[in-house]
Amino acid sequence: MKKLDDYNFENKKALIRVDFNVPLNENFEVTDINRIEAAKPTIIKILEDGGSAVLMSHLGRPKGERNPDLSLKHICATVSDVIGVAIKFVDDCVGEKAEKAVAELKSGEVLLLENLRYHAEEEKGDKAFAEQLSKLGDIYVNDAFGTAHRAHASTAIVAKYFTDAKCFGYLLAKEIKAIEKVMRTGEKPVLAILGGAKVSSKITIIENILDKVDDLIIGGGMTYTFVKAQGGQVGDSICEDDKMELAMEILKQAKEKGVNVHIPVDVIAADDFSNTANTKIVDVDKIPDGWQGLDAGPRTLENFKKVILGAKTILWNGPIGVFEMESFANGTISVGNAIDQATQNGAFSLVGGGDSVAAVKQFGFENKVSYVSTGGGAMLESLEGKTLPGIAAILAL
């Protein structure tokens, strides 16, 4: 399979699927340029080769309607600033207008197409629509990890029309490499830290990851289902009674596979789900009625730190406590600090999936871990062991 660097884009038009689904404020200004910056290296490589770039993306959920609030024209100025080239814009992503704009595009120029999801065919993965898109470039480059778990026209189906002229962009290639490091090629001991609210939303990840890791830290709201399943008293803590059997099964499987499971031994219990609640430190299996565990306790954090500092490859998904409330953020911050230290000592650390990325950003760990994934759902599905359609489409002959 060819990589981006194997292609010379001189006088070629690259059709690039980027993820420019960025947040806009009420004046339609971009409030977070991360995703645009993340796509920049791929675009620059193509321009420096002497090629031109045709960018396609979705923005929000217009559901097949031309919703002017969700027009990608709002982001043109920001994209021009970030890329350093005054980009052109065409107000459709297929058809005569788009084809004409592409035909007029010269080497070194960048064209942004209008929101793909103005056409319902995009999310349906419609073949005829994908074929129309395929007319807009000589080489297809997928650099949108955030949508790689969707079999949409622009993320997967379009690749079929570029049998010998398709590749991953740098960002997508980096995401794939980071996941592979955790799932297959990482130096041992490999540690997964799984937190978050519920066992039910993480169960497929846990099952898949048991074959890959040496240690598993369980934190956050998931803790209490495991503790109650083993006969502990969890008071009013979040707990999924219907998942207790599953929790026992996971512990059994972990034992059989030689995975060390680390569960909190003490917690910060609160008498209300509130930042100003009364709190006390209690053993995880002796939480009184009327109290709920909202963060990991000091002994637990000491244990977690030891495990983290001993790991060579670390995956972190899900907060350790209710980090949105200052009173219960300490567990998440302290695990972040330990990962920072382990990374400085040479470990590879990957943070990915939903709320853990928000937590990492909130507490400034973004540049202290080896890699922060840009794709929430795509990352979770990768950890569940699923093959992502956007990735499979590039790998297919």
The residue with tokens 């788009």 is 98
Q: In this structure, are residues 182 and 350 in contact, taking their beta carbons and an 8 Å threshold?
A: yes
Q: In this structure, are residues 140 and 134 in contact, taking their beta carbons and an 8 Å threshold?
A: yes
The one catalytic residue among 160, 377, 385, 386: 377
Q: How far is the CB of 369 from ligand AMP (least distance, A)?
A: 17
What does residue 273 show for φ and ψ, rounded to 5 degrees? -85, 70
Residue 196 within binding range of ligand AMP, rule CB under 6 A: yes
Nearer to ligand AMP, 268 or 347 (CB): 268
Among 201, 233, 279, 337, binds ligand AMP (CB under 6 A): 201
Residue 108 within binding range of ligand AMP, rule CB under 6 A: no
Q: In this structure, are residues 53 and 20 in contact, taking their beta carbons and an 8 Å threshold?
A: no
DSSP assigned state of 324:
T
Residue 143 within binding range of ligand AMP, rule CB under 6 A: no
Q: How far is the CB of 232 from ligand AMP (least distance, A)?
A: 14
- Smallest Cα–Cα separation from 311: which of 341, 338, 345, 347? 347
Nearer to ligand AMP, 13 or 262 (CB): 262
375 is catalytic: no
Q: In this structure, are residues 394 and 17 in contact, taking their beta carbons and an 8 Å threshold?
A: no
Q: State the Cα–Cα distance between residues 230 and 222, nearest whole angstrom.
A: 13
Q: How far is the CB of 388 from ligand AMP (least distance, A)?
A: 20
Total residues interacting with ligand AMP, rule: CB under 6 A = 16
Of 114-122, 194-202, 242-250, 383-391: span binding ligand AMP (CB under 6 A): 194-202
What does residue 279 show for φ and ψ, rounded to 5 degrees? -130, 155
Token pair of 242, please?
């219907």
The one catalytic residue among 17, 35, 150, 202: 35
35 is catalytic: yes
Q: In this structure, are residues 208 and 384 in contact, taking their beta carbons and an 8 Å threshold?
A: yes
Of 36-44, 58-66, 314-322, 375-383: span binding ligand AMP (CB under 6 A): 314-322
Q: State the Cα–Cα distance between residues 109 and 89, nearest whole angstrom.
A: 11
DSSP assigned state of 181:
I
Q: State the Cα–Cα distance between residues 250 and 210, nearest whole angstrom.
A: 9
Of 25-33, 153-161, 196-204, 389-397: span binding ligand AMP (CB under 6 A): 196-204
Which ranges of the chain does DSSP label H, i.e. alpha helix?
34-48, 76-83, 95-103, 120-124, 127-134, 170-180, 203-209, 223-229, 244-257, 298-310, 330-344, 355-362, 376-383, 389-395
377 is catalytic: yes
Q: How far is the CB of 267 from ligand AMP (least distance, A)?
A: 8
Nearer to ligand AMP, 4 or 329 (CB): 329
Contacts with ligand AMP in 213-232 (CB under 6 A)? 220-221
Q: How far is the CB of 194 from ligand AMP (least distance, A)?
A: 9
Contacts with ligand AMP in 263-302 (CB under 6 A)? 293-294
Among 171, 238, 282, 284, binds ligand AMP (CB under 6 A): 238
Which residues neighbour 280 within 8 Å (Cβ) at sequence distance 6 or greater? 268, 269, 291
For 371, how many CA atoms within 13 A lie in the half-sphere containing its CB? 25
321 is catalytic: no
Of 20-28, 147-155, 298-306, 315-323: span binding ligand AMP (CB under 6 A): 315-323
Q: How far is the CB of 246 from ligand AMP (least distance, A)?
A: 16
Q: In this structure, are residues 79 and 36 in contact, taking their beta carbons and an 8 Å threshold?
A: yes
Among 318, 336, 352, 390, binds ligand AMP (CB under 6 A): 318
Residue 319 within binding range of ligand AMP, rule CB under 6 A: yes
Q: How far is the CB of 317 from ligand AMP (least distance, A)?
A: 7
Q: Report the residue number whose CB is nearest to ligand AMP.
A: 196
At 112 the three-state DSSP class reads: strand
Q: Which residues bind ligand AMP (CB under 6 A)?
A: 196-198, 201, 220-221, 238, 293-294, 318-319, 321-322, 324, 354-355
Which residues participate in catalysis according to the annotation? 35, 198, 354, 377
